[in-house]
Structure 1
Amino acid sequence: MSRVNPPFRYDVVGSFLRPADLKEARAQHEEGKITDQALRDKEDGAIRELIAKEKAAGLKAVTDGEFRRAYWHLDFLAGLDGITEVRADAWSVKFKGANPKARTIVISDKIDFSDHPFLEHFKFTKEAAGDTLVKQTIPSPSMLHLIPCVREENYEPIDRYKDEDVLFDDIANAYIKAVRKFYDLGCRYLQLDDTSWGEFCDLSKRKAYEERGLDLDHIERKYVEVINKIIASKPDDLTITMHICRGNFRSTWFSSGGYEPVAEILFGNCNVDGFFLEYDSDRAGDFSPLRYIKDQTVVLGLVTSKFPDLEDPDAVRARIKEAEKYVPLDQLCLSPQCGFSSTEEGNVLTEEQQWAKIALIREIAGSVWKDC
């Protein structure tokens, strides 16, 4: 019998390479050469085509590929009440290579969730997917604190948030509303994408933050507390997972380090239904931090989305076997380590190579688990 509830034995993180004609339409729109409606029409067609390809690839949950976004996180965060997207002189985090267009967010008023454009985006995707489950991806609530309050060295809270507990309460309440509205539209699979934990795994970044007087263990516990409030409010038939990333832009990265510095606080206390964990390179460390996992599903990101070369199936199966020392096989699944296009630019591989990665993951999962 096939696994009924997500995450699935072979799964994806969410973003896919944008087709060339969609990239061109977005560029034309930015230059004022086509209308908002013309861009929407192009996005709609590209998403319908993507969903057909996802179904043909055998995926049990489909996404919109994040085709309507420029970034995996800022588009959603900037749509929240009280958040303003602004230009930045430079990214506060540096990738090991090229960097995206520098944008950031600031907290300008009370944070809340009301008439967010992602709700209409989800409605379209669900209708286009028909009877197939839709996975909705949004940035984790942790990013609402990490970006403007931790990365920003000169952060000055507005009056309402001089008591930081009020800020964390408002973030939690905004996401509780978001979860409920997505659920009411039919969402049953929601993923929180989060790079904060990847940064906190990086010993050099931890040192730099601590030298500024930041208590990272306290911040991590507050992040888990916020997420657990959201989880506690969700309906029983909604699956919420978390994807942890160390950076993904044009096949580059910005954080490095195993999960040990955050494992006890995160894996031992965060009540998400599953973790999508980056494990495609030595930068992610070994599996020993998984000893803190309780009953959460662990989706092993053993296949890289950054490069086109296909992994050796036997080597991937051997690594799954190694992970079994810490987490039972029944709690494990397989996916790419990240999305294929965390920003609209996309990683350095072709669409054909992208789908070959998905096929490889499905093939390996079918040889490891009987309930695929």
Structure 2
Amino acid sequence: MSTRTTPPFRADHVGSFLRPAYLLQARDQAAKGEITREQLREVEDRAIAEVVKMQQDVGLQSITDGEFRRTYFHIDFLQQLGGVQTEEPVTIRKPDGSEELAPPVMRVTGKVRHVKDIQRADFEYLKGQVAAGRTPKVTIPSPTMLHFRGGRAGISREAYPELEPAFYDDVAKAYGEELQSLYDAGCRYVQLDDTNMAYLCDEKMREAARQRGDDPNELPHRYAKFINKVVAHKPEGMTLAMHLCRGNFKSTFAAQGNYEPVAEALLAEMHLDAYFMEYDDDRSGDFRPLRYLPKGKVVVLGLVTTKFGEMESKDELKRRIDEAARHAPLEQLCLSPQCGFSSTVHGNKIAVDAQKAKLALIVETAQEVWGAV
């Protein structure tokens, strides 16, 4: 098979990377007022230049800024939309000593609107660091995040007496304006990070949705229509992908379950170009849901875990790709880690060397399976 000339690529990745210690130190100094925001940005610039080089050195075609300017993968973006208020999530220590991140409180307090370019300046710096022939990628949270956490109760009835169609239309328009801003800056590859479709595979999460007054069987189809409203605003020539995340705070997870409850809505009904699907362990079930994948779309198999440093074997990865190819054509499949290495600033419990080694493994495996990356 030949190299994919448009993203996603045979060897791809979700986007976030472990923050270097000097960047964490600078963030702490900025929070205390010991350095200015401009000085912090200079440190971020240095760290991003280094992580771009790392990605290029291991042979990746898609390049991100590692989300090095963010604290959380979702809050930093969503709180910059007009009409949205967010609160910092809290870390909960469980009886066994492990930690989990309580879901952040997100409220729609007014009409949702795009009041400024959110990612453009960050993208322009990233683009300037990426070598010719590579593709800079921007990751942003999925618009479904503004509904799923709080449901109807989290959205102002004064601003939106009815959700249909005004709320969904306003959010889609705001996202469309951000996508156009990125496109105008030269961006051609954007990924929506979505926990909610994956959470709707988990019975505990489905029950929580029922308690909020939503039907977990209906939500995937409603979200498909919601995402399609965003896609309708997508500039021509831009690849729009979705990553399904089951939780990734300090190597923990929040949800589990086979993709079957959402597969048809996700793969067949959403007008997206590609999907990054977690498949690093048995929490995700089997590959049968891939049977809904239509021609023209791509699934990136997240077979390599970012939660732990133990290396997967190349033979095992090839065996699992073969299994997936029984349900979707091999030419419509790619390979990646199951998630980012640092969805929040805290990072997963994995070494920097293991992070790089896992990316190199993905590139080598993709070359041997597809003959290209």
User: TM-score category by the smaller chain?
Assistant: over 0.9
**2-side partners of 1:89 and 1:234: how far apart?**
34
Secondary structure of the corresponding residue to residue 170 of structure 1: helix
**2-side partners of 1:36 and 1:156: how far apart?**
32
Counterpart in the other structure of 1:108: 109
Counterpart code for 2:160: Y
Runs of 4 or more consecutive aligned structure 1 residues displaced over 3 Å after TM superposition: 87-91, 100-103
Unaligned 5+ segments in structure 2 are: none
**1-side partners of 2:268 and 2:58: how far apart?**
34
Matched, 1:228 2:228: yes
1:96, 1:252 within 8 Å by CA — same for their partners in 2? Answer: no
Matches within 5 A, 1:105-254: 105-131=106-132, 132-149=134-151, 155=154, 157-165=156-164, 166-254=166-254
Unaligned 5+ segments in structure 1 are: none
Count of residue pairs brought into register by the alignment: 366
**1-side partners of 2:106 and 2:97: how far apart?**
22
Percent of pairs with identical residues: 44
Shift of 1:206: 0.9
**1-side partners of 2:119 and 2:175: how far apart?**
13
Counterpart in the other structure of 1:279: 279
Counterpart in the other structure of 2:45: 44
2:246, 2:254 within 8 Å by CA — same for their partners in 1? Answer: yes
Matches within 5 A, 1:1-20: 1-20=2-21
**2-side partners of 1:284 and 1:209: how far apart?**
20
Sort the Cα spacing of 1:101 and 1:19 in 2 relative to 1 into closer, same or farther, 3 A.
Answer: farther
Sort the Cα spacing of 1:101 and 1:143 in 2 relative to 1 into closer, same or farther, 3 A.
Answer: closer
2:14, 2:337 within 8 Å by CA — same for their partners in 1? Answer: yes
1:256, 1:284 within 8 Å by CA — same for their partners in 2? Answer: yes
Counterpart code for 2:169: D
Counterpart in the other structure of 1:268: 268
Counterpart in the other structure of 1:76: 77
**2-side partners of 1:303 and 1:116: how far apart?**
34
2:10, 2:370 within 8 Å by CA — same for their partners in 1? Answer: yes
Shift of 1:87: 4.4
Matched, 1:344 2:345: yes
**2-side partners of 1:313 and 1:16: how far apart?**
22
**2-side partners of 1:170 and 1:290: how far apart?**
32
1:96, 1:254 within 8 Å by CA — same for their partners in 2? Answer: no
**2-side partners of 1:317 and 1:77: how far apart?**
38
**2-side partners of 1:87 and 1:194: how far apart?**
18
Shift of 1:338: 0.2
Secondary structure of the corresponding residue to residue 268 of structure 1: helix
Greater CA deviation, 38-47 or 231-240? Answer: 231-240
For 1:77-133, what per-residue CA distance to the aligned partner results, in whole angstroms no more than 9, with x for missing partners? Answer: 011111122246778xxx993134874322121111131342211111112224231
Shift of 1:324: 0.8
Sort the Cα spacing of 1:212 and 1:140 in 2 relative to 1 into closer, same or farther, 3 A.
Answer: closer
CA RMSD of aligned residues (A): 1.9
Counterpart code for 2:201: C
Counterpart in the other structure of 1:258: 258
Shift of 1:144: 1.5
1:57, 1:358 within 8 Å by CA — same for their partners in 2? Answer: yes
**1-side partners of 2:66 and 2:116: how far apart?**
22
Secondary structure of the corresponding residue to residue 173 of structure 2: helix
Greater CA deviation, 299-308 or 227-236? Answer: 227-236
Secondary structure of the corresponding residue to residue 267 of structure 1: helix
For 1:180-207, what per-residue CA distance to the aligned partner results, in whole angstroms no more than 9, with x for missing partners? Answer: 1111110000000000011100012212
